[in-house]
A and B are shown apart, each in its own frame.
Chain A
Amino acid sequence: SVKQHVVRKFLGLISSHNIPVYLIDPLILGLVDKDIERIRSSPDGPSPECKYFCAPRDFTTFALLDKTWKHEVGLFRTAEKMGFQWLKIINKDPRLDGMDDLSGIEIPLHYIFKQASHAIHLVVFYERSGNYLWHGPLRLKQHMDRKFVPFRKLHFGRYPGAYEKPELLLVSIDDLKVQIPKNPSSFLEEMSHSRFLECRYREARAFFQLYPDDASLDAVEFRKKAKSLLHLAALTLNNLGVKFWLSSGTCLGWYRQCNVIPHSKDVDLGIFIRDYKADIIPAFQKAGLPLKHKFGKVEDSLELSFQGEDDVKLDIFFFYEEDDHIWNGGTQAKSGKKFKYLFPKFTLCWTEFVELKVHVPCETRQYVEANYGPDWKVPVKTWDWKSSPSNVQYNGIWPVDEWDDVIQIY
């Protein structure tokens, strides 16, 4: 088959230049996953027929870790000699995007090698702060050939993506030796939620021009503590397998200024109530963060607060999904009053924040605006969680006999 032939030639090309690539093609990995036990147990076994690489499709997708090769130009000359046409997609380096006034670096994000009716899509992955891999979006510049390949059908490049560093496995499929993610199904699962949002560095710079950053020693100290608290919380929740996102003031800090808001005094996270686990409280206590208060219950308005180092508090809000909106609850301890904060529906995206790969709502602007109103761009130092948010609704009073359960303060 043409496909298998082109893939074979491509693998020959890159191995002759010692470039380690691995297969990330979702269609092939899907097929491979069904036979994974057999493939794992006989890494050298001959295959009876061309089962994987010959399946109908226009592309085969591979990944390349940027730091494992040297960008030699020689690769492309060899490729041309072998009859490949190739296209390189470059763009600015997001690792330097957050910095004032640096320039000079555009980095390759995607390569496409085409021969006959088949193309190889090579996605370049970069290591970023927060111990994860990132690939860029695929955007064509004006002078580029829009018909080089049917770009819309590509599996990678519509959005940038964030991934864990994969464990790789060398296997032989259809008589081709190739590296694949050790666990294809979890890679495919990861891929389906991989969309990455870059912080809005330009807007953050503009914000700091209007409202100069607080460089006081207190602010520096608070940011340091908030960062380490967030790292600890992320570690704890990730170990439990509980998905969380930046919420409230922490989310606003990310969205507005790409940093912790120094006068915010706490770290706020959101978790869907369906992801709630009873282990959460003991896990935080074990990590050295005692429970400060617990409001509400799993069925209604659950909210947990943990005490971090020196007065920095970790607030975890649980979110309840309805047909057309999502909400979380609040409780006033002294009166037993309940409040409800309404948000439009959202999905989760990855981002990088204080050297951490974390989730934020993809529809961040709507989320922030729901919470802070149209003037979220203006810093406010006094904030009353019962009246200031623009999405707050009064939600009745807890029955007095439940108070012991739904208002716990330590």
Chain B
Amino acid sequence: MDEWKPNPAIKPHKKRSWYLAWKYKLMNQRALRKLCQTGAVLFLLVTVIVNIKLILDTRKAAYEEEEESAQDYDDEMLNVEVPRHPVSNKKVLDVEVYSSRSKVYVAVDGTTVLEDEAREQGRGIHVIVLNQATGHVMAKRVFDTYSPHEDEAMVLFLNMVARGRILIFTIKDEGSFHLKDTAKNVLKSLGSQVAPFLSWRDMWTFVGKKGGEVYGEKHAKSPALSTWGDPVLLKTEVHLTSVEDAECHWPDTELNRRRKRFCSKVEGYGSVCSCKDPTPIEFNPDPLKDNKVFDVPVAVIAGNRPNYLYRMLRSLLSAQGVNPQMITVFIDGYYEEPMDVVELFGLSGIQHTPISIKNARVSQHYKASLTATFNLFPDAKFAVVLEEDLDISVDFFSFLSQSIHLLEEDESLYCISAWNDQGYEHTAEDPSLLYRVETMPGLGWVLRKSLYKDELEPKWPTPEKLWDWDMWMRMPEQRKGRECIIPDISRSYHFGIVGLNMNGYFHEAYFKKHKFNTVPNVQLKNVESLRKDAYETEIHRLLGEAEVLDHSKNPCEDSFVPDTEGRVYVMFIRMEQEADFTTWTQLAKCLHIWDLDVRGNHKGLWRLFRKKNHFLVVGVPASPYSSKKPSSVTPIYMEPPAKEEGAVA
């Protein structure tokens, strides 16, 4: 979801229709259009540079002044505050809404608040929510109702919007194919006369007040299956109400003031803004006895997914032993809405000017966030690193409190992570069990300050290297053979389905069925056995006790593992040398666990659960545990499929 707010510094397009006519003429000439775009970008760039220079110069002057006349106690710094939205006492808003095959736009009082003419993007129904008292944009969404289930999401969203808000709808390309009756009825109940009859490739615009009057509706039918309806442009006026009418009357407390500020600005967060029975924004979970991580700073790495951040912070602040004062949310960019979410919960947030692009941008954001965290909490020996698309389990801090001393004392450890890459519903079982693994899972983890300051920070990938920070951290040059501690059942849940390296299909296949601990106060088992040498003793004990499975059977079949519970089984697979994961990858594939690269291994050993039995996989002969293989057993070899279907890198 990208955010675009009206910029008060830009002059509104007064002569909109003239401008449009001119612009549309140009649209047919792609080369010219490109030129215009480039020109616009250049112009913007120059403006930005000039402005930055101006600011720098002013600040520099102020700084020098400070040095000279420090005794003056005067801050010479120019303190110009730009209002976030144009201030006006106008009671009427002019609204223009345009719907067509290739472009939609919405302008409020001459300021464009939505403009989408990108190719092959933004298909479906665009919805904008305006505050009925101030006229500013509170939410902006697009629902691709040409595709299935998007209409359900739209209904969910519309139901969350408070009564009295102004709703603006416009279709780009196609918005009716999977627009089911339920959704059509919701639109009808908002006052739309056309919605029940919307059909294939119709153009449609609608402006109305939720639970109130209709300000306008325009519709153009598609004449034939192969063509689109004519573009429609709706121009209408919306009467603003008083601010008091637009707000709920919650009791005047500190918390409710925060709530009020939030709810007058943004929409789409449901019951947190409900007038009658708002959901709490302070959670007060039970404190943790002997909490070893109470003073450990928590860095939440965020981008512009405010709804995710909202969900994430709710779960984080509900976790037992959380210390809100140690939480800082780092937002990659000057986005307002994530900052609004941070302020709603009374936390501190820091915005970071984006550096570089794509993966490198994320990577630079990580670096800045980690450096800032250790600057802000100079006493901290560790930092907890979280991302905005994670649920945090109720015993997250309890889990860390019980294990963090290992990270302090055992130098062979790289991190503690809340995430088990192989911990799916059908492969994880024991909330009290921990593993050592050679991979670094991320997704909720603890970083040692000395590791960051002495090793990672000085050689962190520079902005021009388009590397994933986590891939870089997993490289042998950085990891240097050290391991991470992970739980069998993850203490975080990755719910994000939109993201840089993420989409719905990928999420469904690899993340949705991940097991997530919901049991509070889990007492971790035998934590001391996770130390370097003790762990070897533990593994040998486990292998000594394990029953060898029947290697003549197909390991992919359910019957490979007997119908028992609580037993320990071992199987041996072929693994010629340390980096030979041919059979493992095939096994992982048929077990429906992570198979995109190798995760969760410890010296050629994998530990998981099958049918509630502990299931050990040893790679022979590469693993030092190969000696446990009875001579009668031939390690299982599984052939990779033909080349074109080869594993994804």
Q: How far is the CA of A86 from the CA of B57 in the complex (A)?
A: 33
A17 to chain B, nearest CB (A): 13
For the complex, count residues of B whose C-beta is within 8 A of A: 38
Does A123 count as interface, using CB distance less than 8 angstroms?
A: no
For chain A residues 48-101, which have a beta carbon within 8 Å of chain B?
67, 70, 72-74, 91, 93, 95-96, 98-101
Does B378 count as interface, using CB distance less than 8 angstroms?
A: yes
Does A139 count as interface, using CB distance less than 8 angstroms?
A: yes
Does A3 count as interface, using CB distance less than 8 angstroms?
A: no
Does B476 count as interface, using CB distance less than 8 angstroms?
A: no
Given contacts A129-B378, A202-B63, A224-B458, is CB(A159)–CB(B70) below 8 Å?
Answer: yes
Given contacts A100-B368, A129-B374, is CB(A141)–CB(B59) below 8 Å?
Answer: no
Is the CB–CB distance between A104 and B75 below 8 Å? no
Is the CB–CB distance between A104 and B371 below 8 Å? no
Is the CB–CB distance between B66 and A139 below 8 Å? yes
Does B56 count as interface, using CB distance less than 8 angstroms?
A: yes
Report A-chain residues with C-beta under 8 Å of the C-beta of B79.
141-143
Is the CB–CB distance between A74 and B378 below 8 Å? no
Contact of A127 among B339, B378, B459 (CB under 8 A): B378
For the complex, count residues of A whose C-beta is within 8 A of B: 42
Q: How far is the CA of A74 from the CA of B253 in the complex (A)?
A: 10
Q: Which of A67, A74, A217 has the most CB of B within 10 A?
A: A67
Report B-chain residues with C-beta under 8 Å of the C-beta of A143.
79
Q: How far is the CA of A104 from the CA of B348 in the complex (A)?
A: 9
Stretch at the interface among A150-158, A169-177, A399-407: A150-158
For chain B residues 287-333, which have a beta carbon within 8 Å of chain A?
325, 331
Does B175 count as interface, using CB distance less than 8 angstroms?
A: no
Stretch at the interface among B145-153, B349-357, B436-444, B540-548: B349-357
Is the CB–CB distance between B458 and A157 below 8 Å? no
Q: Which 8 A-B residue pairs are closest in the complex by CB-CB distance?
A: A101-B353, A139-B75, A129-B378, A95-B375, A104-B351, A104-B350, A220-B458, A151-B73
Q: How far is the CA of A99 from the CA of B453 in the complex (A)?
A: 15
Report B-chain residues with C-beta under 8 Å of the C-beta of A138.
73
Given contacts A127-B378, A139-B66, A224-B458, is CB(A100)–CB(B353) below 8 Å?
Answer: yes
Given contacts A73-B254, A140-B73, A158-B70, is CB(A104)–CB(B379) below 8 Å?
Answer: no
Does A131 count as interface, using CB distance less than 8 angstroms?
A: yes
Does A210 count as interface, using CB distance less than 8 angstroms?
A: no
B341 to chain A, nearest CB (A): 13
Contact of B376 among A96, A139, A152, A158 (CB under 8 A): A96
Is the CB–CB distance between A217 and B459 below 8 Å? yes
Is the CB–CB distance between B71 and A158 below 8 Å? yes
B residues within 8 Å of A by Cβ? 56, 59-60, 63, 66, 70-71, 73-75, 77, 79, 254, 325, 331, 334, 339, 348-353, 355, 368, 371-372, 374-379, 453-454, 458-459, 462
A residues within 8 Å of B by Cβ? 67, 70, 72-74, 91, 93, 95-96, 98-105, 127-131, 137-143, 146, 151-152, 157-159, 202, 215, 217, 220, 223-224, 355
For the residues of A in contact with B, the DSSP-based class is: loop
Report B-chain residues with C-beta under 8 Å of the C-beta of A140.
73-75
Q: How far is the CA of A105 from the CA of B371 in the complex (A)?
A: 15
Contact of B350 among A102, A127, A130 (CB under 8 A): A102
Q: How far is the CA of A143 from the CA of B75 in the complex (A)?
A: 10
Is the CB–CB distance between B375 and A129 below 8 Å? yes
- Nearest residue (CB) in A for B56 is A202
A-B contacts besides A130-B378, A152-B71, 10 pairs, CB < 8 Å: A96-B376, A102-B351, A102-B368, A127-B378, A137-B70, A138-B73, A139-B73, A152-B73, A157-B73, A202-B60
Given contacts A101-B368, A104-B351, is CB(A224)–CB(B454) below 8 Å?
Answer: yes
Is the CB–CB distance between A99 and B73 below 8 Å? no
A105 to chain B, nearest CB (A): 6
A99 to chain B, nearest CB (A): 6
Contact of A105 among B73, B74, B348, B355 (CB under 8 A): B348
